[in-house]
Structure 1
Amino acid sequence: MPLFAPLAVFCGAWGFRVVSRKAEPPVRRALLAFGGLVLGSAVLLLWWFKGLELSIAPTRLLRDLPP
């Protein structure tokens, strides 16, 4: 859902920042935080490009109409 993508980016960035690399035993949640950051960003980019495509299509349609 594109509505949750900004939340995924925020939580992924926050989680990646909070994970301690020197913890004993090692905390292995950095990969999950990085995955949330990457997937949230990818959904936002795809949503933006699809919205851009949807806004360009009607203008092309109107431009190609006969006078």
Structure 2
Amino acid sequence: MTQTLVETRAFIAVMLVSGVIAMIFGFVELGTDSGPASAALSFLIAASFFIVAAISLWRRSAHRHSN
């Protein structure tokens, strides 16, 4: 495996884990006094992490099929 492939896999893993953590914070915040606004922000942050991971996976698979 090349260094780039390992770095890409690590980056995608970090993005997915960060998204899951942000989702957990969102669900926890739903039960607090800060309420839906704070939870919505956490869910938006989680969505951005998932979108970055999806784009990285898409670019990686496109690069692999072009070779």
What range describes the TM-score normalised by the shorter chain of this pair? 0.5 to 0.7
State the percentage of identical aligned residues: 9
Question: 2:61 matched to 1:52?
Answer: yes
Shift of 1:12: 1.4
Question: 2:4 matched to 1:17?
Answer: no
Q: Determine which structure has more spread, i.e. the larger CA radius of gyration.
A: 1
CA RMSD of aligned residues (A): 2.0
TM-score, normalised to structure 2's length? 0.65
Task: Tell me which stretches of 4 or more aligned residues in structure 1 moved more than 3 Å.
Answer: none
Shift of 1:32: 2.0
| 1:7-46 superposed matches below 5 A | 7-21=17-31, 23=33, 26-27=34-35, 28-46=37-55
Which segments of 5 or more consecutive residues in structure 1 lack a partner in the other structure? 59-67
CA distance in 1, matches of 2:29, 2:15: 21
* Count of aligned pairs: 55
Please identify which structure carries the higher helix content.
2
Shift of 1:37: 1.2
CA distance in 2, matches of 1:22, 1:15: 11
CA distance in 1, matches of 2:45, 2:62: 25
